[in-house]
Amino acid sequence: GTSAASLGPDEDMQKYRFLENRSCAALLLEQATNSTLESEDWALNMEICDIVNETEEGPKDAVKAIKKRIVGNKNFKEVMLTLTASISSACPSACLVFFSLSFTMLFTRTVNRCQRAVLCWLFVPQVLEACVKNCGHRFHALVSAREFVEGVLVQAIMPKNNPPMVVHDRVLALIQAWADAFRSSASLTGVVSVYEDLRRKGVKFPMSTLNSASPIHTPHRVG
């Protein structure tokens, strides 16, 4: 009886360490891209960005979690939330309001047509874009690599996965924006190569907008 009682706390600690080892970034990303959300949770997105910036394993953990959320995921609301988010670091407030209203209208139309299967994908881009715009070189190096852009993003919008057009266009818009922004950085040109390959193959990219284009690493937030 005594030995069994003594194992309880140890097992609890092992479970805690397992969750801890899963990384805060992974746990928060699951919350931020949950298909039950009615809209993106910017506070959670910013928490993820802080973890990426402030911890040694943050960038790697976040990219691993993002990849897991995208690859093979047919819940398009989760994927889209993982892909887009916090335009606030790159947009003035008026632009942000306009973007949010436009996204909400498009989001609503998409939901009415495709229902819950589409909704999940609408959250993945949100987290990914938030991190690109608010995190630094360590994160940029991982998501701009050909392995991630071609192996995760491009694969996600292949015809066999039958992604909604809003997801297809959002992924292409991100690839185009990153290619433009990272073109002058020698260590970040994997995405440039993929972008140029796609263009040579005749892939049509959506019209780019200056307001939501280039990645921006904002100063460290205090408090």
Digit-coded pLDDT (tens) for 186-210? 999 999 999 999 999 999 998 865 4
pTM for this prediction: 0.69
Q: Which two tokens stand for residue 174?
A: 């991100």
Domain residues for 31? 24-212
Could you tell me the pLDDT band of residue 92, with boundaries at 50, 70 and 90? very low
Residue type for position 49: C
pLDDT, position 93 = 39
Measure the CA–CA gap between 133 and 127, rounded to whole angstroms.
Answer: 10
pLDDT tens-digit readout, 118-159: 555 667 777 888 899 999 999 999 999 999 999 999 998 998
Summarize the confidence of residues 54-64 as an average pLDDT. Answer: 93
Q: What per-residue confidence (pLDDT) applies to 191?
A: 97
Q: Which two tokens stand for residue 85?
A: 């988010």
- Cα distances (Å, whole numbers) of residue 183 to 33, 88, 194: 29, 23, 12
User: Which among 76, 25, 70 is positioned nearest to 51, based on CA atoms?
Assistant: 25
Q: Which of 166-180, 182-196, 208-222 shows the highest mean pLDDT?
A: 182-196
Domain count within the chain: 1
In a domain, 202, yes or no: yes
pLDDT per position as a tens digit, 6-23: 445 555 545 444 445 567
Is 9 inside a domain boundary?
Answer: no
Question: Region 170-186: what's the mean pLDDT?
Answer: 93
Per the domain annotation, does 220 fall within a domain?
A: no
Count H helices and E strands in the chain, helices first.
Answer: 13, 0
Provide the angle, in degrees to the nearest 10, between the axes of the packed helices 42-54 and 58-70: 140
Q: Per-residue pLDDT averaged across 44-48, rounded?
A: 90
Contact between 142 and 148 under an 8 Å Cβ cutoff? The reply is: yes
Would you say residue 222 lies in a domain?
no
pLDDT at 217: 52
Report helix, strand or coil for 122.
strand
Whole-number Å distance between alpha carbons of 27 and 77: 17
What would the pLDDT profile of 105-121 be if each residue is shown by its tens digit? Answer: 454 444 444 444 455 56
The verdict on residue 7 lying in a domain is: no
Distance CA 115, CA 110 (A): 7
User: In this structure, what CATH number is given to the domain that contains residue 132?
Assistant: 1.25.40.90
Q: Is residue 187 situated within a structural domain?
A: yes
